[in-house]
Amino acid sequence: MLSASAMSPGRCAVASGSMSWLLLMTPEADPLVDQWRMEHDWSARYGVSAHVTVRTPFLEPADWPELPDAALQALIPLKGVRLARLEDRPGWLVVLIEPDERLREMTEAIGKTWPELPRHKPAFTRPRYHITVMRTQDPDARRRASEAIAPHLPMEVTGTELWATSGSQEPGLVRSVFAAST
């Protein structure tokens, strides 16, 4: 496991006004959610395909070159992420990952590696790991997406790469692939 002393202290992108995320990419989920994400999730328009957010906030892009690839490679033991069921939240439709213990362990390991980062999703006591299908206040759109996706769940997908992503809707996103499953 990577130790925090192995690199210079990182800065958190949320402190600079943008957001940052560490994402576990799940391309096998794209056929299930891509149509809806392209219409209703701005990150899809910037080339961010189906994914699970493993850590946010994360480091600023200026600190990414300092990250040792081998250590992050060890954080991708996820060969079977189970897309269990849909959850219709106010303004969001998501596919929940259940069970999510391995993702929690990954998030905790990242927090121990960079203890200077704020807590993962600090607004939530116990964040629910998920793939965002859409962000819209339109309940009819969420219903149509639910009807199209629900018959295909549960579904196993593979976490294939770990991406760091930073930015916002207006100026766009930057990203870097840190590790990939072998």
Q: How many CA atoms lie within 13 A of 83 on its CB side?
A: 26
What is the pLDDT averaged over residues 109-137?
83
- pLDDT of 88 > 90? The answer is yes
Whether the ω angle into residue 99 lies within 30 degrees of 0, i.e. cis, is yes
pTM: 0.83
Greatest mean pLDDT among 4-13, 38-47, 71-80, 161-170: 38-47
Give CA–CA dist 179/170, Å, rounded: 27
**Confidence label for 133 from pLDDT (cuts 50, 70 and 90):** very high
Q: What is the per-residue pLDDT for 86? A: 98
Give CA–CA dist 136/130, Å, rounded: 16
Closest alpha carbon to 156 in 83, 58, 94? 83
Closest alpha carbon to 27 in 45, 51, 44? 51
The percentage of the chain sitting over the pLDDT mark of 90, rounded to a whole number, equals 38
Q: What is the mean pLDDT of the chain?
A: 81
> pLDDT of 14-65, one tens digit each?
444 568 888 999 999 999 999 999 999 988 988 899 999 988 888 888 887 6
> pLDDT of 148-181, one tens digit each?
999 999 999 988 888 888 888 777 788 887 767 6
